[in-house]
Each structure stands twice: as structure tokens, then as C-alpha cells.
Amino acid sequence: MNDLTINNRINQTLDVIIIGAGFSGLGMAIQLQQANINNIAILERDKEVGGCWRDNQYPGAACDIPSHLYSFSFAPNPNWSRAYSNSHEILEYIKSLVSDFELQRYIRFNTNVSNITFDEKAGFWTIKTDKRKALKARSIVIASGPLANCSFPNIPNLKEYKGHKIHSARWDHNFNFSGKKVALVGTGASAIQIIPKLVKKVKHLTVFQRTPAWVLPRLDAETPQWISSLFRELPSAQKLSRQAIFALHEVGALGLIWNSPLTSAMQRVALKHLQHQVKDDWMQRQLTPNFRIGCKRVLMSNNYYPALQQPNCKLITWPIARMSEKGIRCAEGIEHQFDCIVFATGFDIGTQTAPFSVKGVGGRDLGEDWKRGAQAYKSINVSGYPNLFLTFGPNSGPGHNSALVYVESQLNYAVQGIQRILNEDLAQLDVQAKAQEKYNIKIQKRLSKTNWNSGCKSWYLTEDGFNATMFPGFATQYSIQMRQFKDKDYHRVSAI
């Protein structure tokens, strides 16, 4: 095939349709292209690539895994300016993937997928979008992101507030904060990055906290010039450094995933960090978590605690009773009024639910099947939904390492599956229900021994406390399980 521009192929049955143009979707296209699978398309609802790094442009947004590891191993970047790059730089990197690997031609922007249905006899998926014409593909990769949809907190009368509202993942760059009384709801990963920046811009900032998180010091630094030059001259040096950072994070798993002596050591470091930076006893108490470190996402910051203690900042831990026209009423009976409320309240978690309507064999519905807890085989295939691959499927999340290490394993696995469908001309490549069940029993058993399941409420767990988010093990373990496509666990139907 010569002309790969997607608009010229739109009426054909494509080999692969990828949904989402974030790290995962673009990485998928690169890997397929390298395996010589070019009859593909990427559907993206936004008008730009970048996924969560396009959306999360709030002040202070940055990754919390070092950039040399939080990037693709097949597209190293010697020029990262800091250990933990900011969102802007990460977005530039993602855009460079598009130009370096010539991905533009595959992408259809402003195309929101609303449902996909499998045709068992013909062996292809029909994809409906907000555009009039439906698309067809032999296989699908869902790369719509684990944290792509903003979530607002469950506060009574949320809509009643008439002032300006901003969600951290849809930042309003036109709003002028200077001289304003601002509230920020949430004290999670985004919040602790925003607060130190925002407190410098506003007249007064009030931070509403429901539960405090463990915060470790962050060892961030600018990359010295000679390091970038070295990495440019000697790519193997960069590879080596990436491996070292990876190994260091793997060790961290010992403390973060399971309750080990390292867990207590980390908790002591976090507590010392708090006591060092916050002198007031009551505030220390407000900021001390009542769960084991690692149970929820561990945060890293050096300037969060100092920011909270600025004269124009106030931490409120009273439960929020409701919103009102002018602000937030808390259970202590006071109405706190604001010009603007920032919600740094996270996302609806993509690993736990179907992102849109997905209809598989015999009309079964993924949303229904996952109602009592999302399940997949090795996080990537779901029985009854042939020729469908998930990135960041159930139990694929790391708590201690770069998500992209996991994604790379998924991409490689999906390529192996898709190659089988195309080379063997299969109408269906479907994982066996038994294999999936066996895998999940093992996963849930291992999860029960982790810190995540040790009793705190977190976004890793569903309302009922089911963990469909995290992978209970080292990144290395995950990579090993994904290395080989296990043919005997799959059921095949040839195309006629």
C-alpha cells in the first residue's frame, strides 16, 4: 500500500483501528508500523495528540517518574531538561514521536468513538463515532487512557456554584488569578503540584483536604549540559542510565507494593519530611495519613508543605457539606466564598470500566460483564471480545514504576496477536474464558497481600473495594508475562 493517508482508506476494512492518540495509541502505531502493518488508523476525539499530557497543562504539571524512564525505550530523548520534566516538555516529546515516525497520516482527529460492535461471522469490528460514517477494522486497540476523563467530587449541590470552575485536567489559561480568592479541592498528585504555583499568583488560596497522602521528598534537578551531550554522543550511556533508574524503582516496589521493612523505612522518611517542614502540631496532625504508605499513590514534593504554610494559604480539613452559589459550606457551619474553585479531584478510572459501549460475541456487553469487577487476561484481552486489545486494561497499573514500561510490553503483545490475525487470516482470535479466570484468581490472590488492599480507600479500588487497577508485582514480572503470546490459551476461528 502506498498512500497511507487515512482519509483515502476510510471506506476499506482496515487491519487495525487504534482509539486514542496518547502515549499508548501512538506507541501502538509505531510498533505496528515497524512490524509492517500499515493499514491502520488512529481515532482521536481531540484536535491534537498527547492524551493526558495535552489535557494536564495546569501550573506545575510534571511527571513523577524520571523522564529518562518515563519515555519510550525505542525513542530515547537525550535532551530532557530536568530529572522530572514538565508537562509541556513531555507533550513536545509526544509530538516529536508523531513527526519522527510519520504518524500524522494515520490520525483522524475530532473523532469520538461512541460504540464498537463485533461481527462474528465476518470477523471485523464496526466502529461508530460522532461522525456519520461508521468504520470497519479486523482488530481494535483501545488506547483511550486510564486517566482521560475528569471526575468531579460527589459534593451535594455542585452545580449551584456560580463562580468560575476549573478542573485541573482542563486548565483555563485565560483566567486571571491575580487578586482572586481561590479554592482548590483535593490533595492528590495534581493538587500538590498546583498548590505551590497557584499560591504565588492568587490573593488567597484555600485548600480543601479529605484525606492526606504520604509525601516523600523529591530529588529533582536540572540536567547538566554534559549529561545531555554524553547521551547524544553515546546512546548506550543513556540506555544504561535508564536501566539503573528502572532498577532503583523496582527496588521501591518492595516497600510500596508489599508491607516490608522498606515500607516502614519509607514511612519514616515521609514522616520526618513532614515534621521537618511543618512545625505546627495541629497542622502536622491534619497532614498525617492514617494508612500504611503505598496503600494509596505516594506523592513527592519539596514545596507542597511550605506552600500550605504561606500567609495567604489555608488548609481546611472540615468535611464539605455542600456547594452554594458563592462557595463551599463545610460541616463547621461556615460558608467559604471564592472567585474561583479549582477541582484537582482526579479522574474516572479507565481500568475499571468500559470506556464506551463494546459489544462482543453474541451481543455481550463489556460494561455489563465488568459490572462486578473488571477482568481481562493479562490485562490485555477479554474473553468473548475477539480481536480486541486493551492498553491499561484491568490490573495493568504500576504503583512504583513508569507506566510506559508496562505499555511497551502491551504493545509488543498486541503486535503478536494482530500478526496472528492477519497472517493466519483469522476471523476470531479470542482468549479462553478458563485461561482468563485462572489468571484472575491468581492476580486477586496476590493482590490480597499488597498494601493497596490493606484497608484504605483509594482510586485503585472500586466503591466495593475491588482492585481492578493495579498489577501486584514487579514491572519485570509483568514484562515477562507479556513477552510470549500464549497460543494455547486462545481460541481461533478462521475466516472463510
Partner 1 sequence: MASIDLEKMRQKIKNTQWALVDFDWGSPGAEKITTEQWPKLKTFMADLMWIEHVGARGFAALAKSAPTDNLREIYTYFHAEEQRHANAEMALMKRWGMLDKNEPPVPSANLRLVIEWLERYADDTPFNLLATLIPMLEVALDGALCKYLLETVDDPLCHEIFAKINDDESRHLGVGFTVMEMQGKGPHYIAFIQMLGHLFDPRLIAGALVYFPLLNSMRDNLIAMGMQEEKLYKSIAKFKEIGGRTDQGRRNPWFQVIQYHGTIMVDRSNHFYHVPVDMLVALSNKIPRRLLPSPPTWVAELTHRPIA
Ligand X SMILES: Cc1cc2nc3c(=O)[nH]c(=O)nc-3n(C[C@H](O)[C@H](O)[C@H](O)COP(=O)(O)OP(=O)(O)OC[C@H]3O[C@@H](n4cnc5c(N)ncnc54)[C@H](O)[C@@H]3O)c2cc1C
Q: Contact, 129 vs 144, CB < 8 A?
A: no
Residue 164 CB, nearest approach to ligand X (Å): 21
Give the whole-angstrom CA distance, residue 355 versus residue 367. 8
Q: Where do we find the cell 491534537?
A: 48
Q: Of 64-72, 170-178, 231-239, 324-332, which part binds ligand X (CB under 6 A)?
A: 64-72
Give the whole-angstrom CA distance, residue 408 versus residue 391. 9
Backbone angles phi, psi at 46, to 5 degrees: -85, 180
Q: Which of 32, 63, 183, 253 binds ligand X (CB under 6 A)?
A: 63
1 strand-pairing partners: none
Whichever of 253 and 308 has its CB closer to partner 1, that residue is 308
Q: Which of 32, 39, 45, 205 binds ligand X (CB under 6 A)?
A: 45
Give the whole-angstrom CA distance, residue 60 versus residue 194. 5
Within 349-368, the residues that bind ligand X by CB under 6 A are 355-356
Helix ranges restricted to H, 167-293: 189-201, 225-233, 235-256, 261-277, 281-287
Whichever of 66 and 360 has its CB closer to ligand X, that residue is 66
Please choose which of ligand X, partner 1, none residue 52 contacts, taking the beta carbon within 5 to 8 angstroms, the exact cut-off set by kind. Answer: ligand X
Residue of this chain nearest to ligand X (CB atom): 51
Q: Where do we find the cell 506523592?
A: 299
Q: Which of 37, 38, 46, 172 binds ligand X (CB under 6 A)?
A: 46
Q: Which three cell numbers stand for residue 355?
A: 470506556
Q: Which residues of 392-418 are buried (b: 16+ CB within 10 A; e: fewer)?
A: bbbbbbbbbbbbbbbbbbbbbbbbbbb
Nearest CA to 401 among 475, 321, 294, 306?
475
Give the whole-angstrom CA distance, residue 482 versus residue 479. 5
The reply to whether 43 sits near ligand X by the rule CB under 6 A is yes
Residues that bind partner 1 (CB under 8 A): 156, 280-283, 285, 290, 318-319, 321-322, 324, 329-337, 457
Q: Contact, 246 vs 400, CB < 8 A?
A: no
Name, in order, each residue with C-beta under 8 angstroms of 350's C-beta and a sequence gap of 6 or more.
144, 145, 146, 147, 148, 149, 392
Residue 335 CB, nearest approach to ligand X (Å): 31
Whichever of 69 and 278 has its CB closer to partner 1, that residue is 278
Q: Contact, 426 vs 420, CB < 8 A?
A: yes
Residue 189 CB, nearest approach to partner 1 (Å): 22
Please choose which of partner 1, ligand X, none residue 201 contacts, taking the beta carbon within 5 to 8 angstroms, the exact cut-off set by kind. Answer: none
Within 15-34, the residues that bind ligand X by CB under 6 A are 19-25
Whichever of 10 and 321 has its CB closer to partner 1, that residue is 321
State the greatest distance between any 2 C-alpha atoms of the chain, in Å, as a whole number: 74
Please choose which of partner 1, ligand X, none residue 183 contacts, taking the beta carbon within 5 to 8 angstroms, the exact cut-off set by kind. Answer: none
Residue 321 CB, nearest approach to partner 1 (Å): 4
What burial class does residue 319 get, using C-beta atoms within 10 Å of its C-beta: 0-12 exposed, 13-18 middle, 19+ buried?
A: exposed
Residue 202 CB, nearest approach to partner 1 (Å): 15
The reply to whether 348 sits near ligand X by the rule CB under 6 A is no
The reply to whether 391 sits near ligand X by the rule CB under 6 A is yes
Q: Which of 190, 395, 409, 467 binds ligand X (CB under 6 A)?
A: 190
Whichever of 90 and 155 has its CB closer to ligand X, that residue is 90
Give the whole-angstrom CA distance, residue 471 versus residue 474. 8
The reply to whether 187 sits near ligand X by the rule CB under 6 A is no
The reply to whether 64 sits near ligand X by the rule CB under 6 A is yes
Contacting positions for ligand X (CB under 6 A): 19-25, 43-46, 51-52, 56, 61, 63-65, 70, 112-113, 143-148, 190, 355-356, 391-392, 402-403
